[in-house]
Copies of this chain bind each other. A is one copy, B any other.
Amino acid sequence: MRTPVHEYLAEIRDSCYYYSQGEVATYIPELAEVDPDQFGIALCTPAGTIYAEGDAENEFTIQSVSKPFVYAMALVERGLQIVDAHVDVEPSGDPYNAMSVDPESGKPSNPMINMGAIVTHCLVGPADATPQERSDLIIESLCKFAGRKLEVNEAVLESEFANRYRNVALASMMRSNGFISIEPDDAVWGYTRQSALNVTARDLSVMAMTLANGGVNPITHERVVPEWVCRQVLSVMTTCGMYDSAGDWLSSVGIPAKSGVGGGIIGSLPGQVGIGTFSPRLDSHGNSVRGVEACERVSRDMGLHIMAMPAPSIDAIGQQSRTESGAVLVSIQGALTFPTAELALRRFEEIPEDESEVVVDLTAVPQINHVGDRMLREGLRRLGEDGHQVTLVDPHERIPRPMDHDRRRIPVIDDFATFEDAET
């Protein structure tokens, strides 16, 4: 059989295709002359499967879709505190190219508008990097997000730079306010080069999934940025990514997203999906008309909305039973985070004090985060303290080297059968 996901995506593509209003960007000839009817869409899953329909292999310039990734790079290099000191994270309600600063600090409103993006561009790389070197570093990193080599569209770069004065105004204001220290023209050249990178909708889906995947590229499996950086970037995309109407986007679509004037949009739903779309006709805010519609359809038709996250698998976790040998068995299923760990610990609580042996099975635990780790360790420690003899089944080493209350290693086995064999 063939999975019907291809067909679902084709349906979405077809239904959005009829949205033919909007206009391509015209401020430079290279954008004005693209075929306005192009439309491609791609989904990338956490496992790296890519579903693509339409013109998903056509190239276009990444433009503002580069902004969240460069913000991520700045966070990696400088840390949250320093980046926060250079750019706010508040939706501005202003157009993408507005002079939008905090009235007191003079900081740009957020890194998703040009002003903030020029600042984050300048935060990447060594202070004495040339514009060429800085933009090379950024492009190198963007390639890691995409998982392939991307090329600069030199014609777009040249044409955009000839038309640079608005961005020079923004960069000069940032220089005046002390948030960049290089010449405004240089900052704008590098920023324009970053924006002139050619990508496809397929590339964008991978880049989006990398953000949604905690920073690990789902295709190359390379860790591009740390998880906390993704959390920060996705948060900012949620309120500031789609230019206008932060509240409307969040309630009606509920997928952190970012659009670019080249016609691209990314959508990143943490742990779920990366979306890349390309269609050059833009609405009055500069968002791709079909891309916006496609995101809405994906959200609605596929139940993908940040506020519609499934509850943890509460029925399936920690079902207490017994091994054949009579030991108490607690099998945990699903990612071990606070809610699931809380459930597991409550199961531990229910174990009668006179039970001697307890087996905790993590075979079906695909992931564990720091709080899940902390809680489970503490639970195991306390079980020992209460006099239970604890064995851990942990074939994937989710909890390396757990200790009991006497700081002795708790026995860990790879396979449940091992335990049963040992018992019998």
Contacts and interface: CB of A to CB of B under 8 A. Distances in A.
Interface string A336-368: 011100110110110100000000000011110
A175 interface: yes
13 contacts: A1-B385, A3-B348, A46-B312, A88-B248, A99-B173, A110-B247, A168-B184, A169-B172, A304-B337, A310-B335, A310-B369, A311-B335, A316-B333
Contact of A371 (B302, B307, B334): B302
A311 B342 contact: no
A240 interface: yes
A231 interface: yes
Interface string A246-275: 111011001010000000000000111100
A89 interface: yes
Contacts of A305: 231
A307 B1 contact: no
A305 B339 CA distance: 12
B246 A231 contact: no
A315 interface: yes
Given A338-B302, A365-B316, A382 B235 contact: no
Interface stretch (A119-127, A144-152, A199-207, A372-380): A372-380
A170 interface: yes
Contacts of A90: 245-248
Contact of A309 (B99, B168, B271, B351): B271
A129 interface: no
Contact of A246 (B239, B256, B342): B239
Nearest to A317: B366
B311 A213 contact: yes
A155 interface: no
A303 B301 CA distance: 29
A182 to B, nearest CB: 11
Interface in A211-254: 213-214, 227, 230-232, 234-236, 238-240, 245-248, 250-251, 254
8 smallest A-B Cβ distances: which pairs? A310-B335, A169-B172, A271-B311, A235-B251, A165-B176, A166-B176, A169-B173, A315-B366
Interface residues of A, number: 96
- Most B-side CB within 10 Å, residue of A3, A236, A310, A375: A310
Interface in A291-327: 301-316
Given A45-B339, A378-B4, A313 B364 contact: yes
A342 B3 CA distance: 8
B4 A345 contact: yes
A179 to B, nearest CB: 11
A231 B270 contact: no
A214 to B, nearest CB: 8
A338 to B, nearest CB: 4
A236 B251 contact: yes
- Most B-side CB within 10 Å, residue of A89, A311, A346, A396: A311
A32 interface: no
A37 interface: no
B315 A396 contact: yes
Interface in A373-396: 375, 378-379, 382-383, 385-386, 396
A45 to B, nearest CB: 6
A49 interface: yes
Contacts of A1: 348-349, 351, 379, 382-383, 385-386
A254 to B, nearest CB: 6
Given A3-B346, A271-B309, A343-B45, A314 B366 contact: yes
Contacts of A408: none
A2 interface: yes
Given A90-B248, A311-B46, A3 B345 contact: yes
A184 B213 contact: no
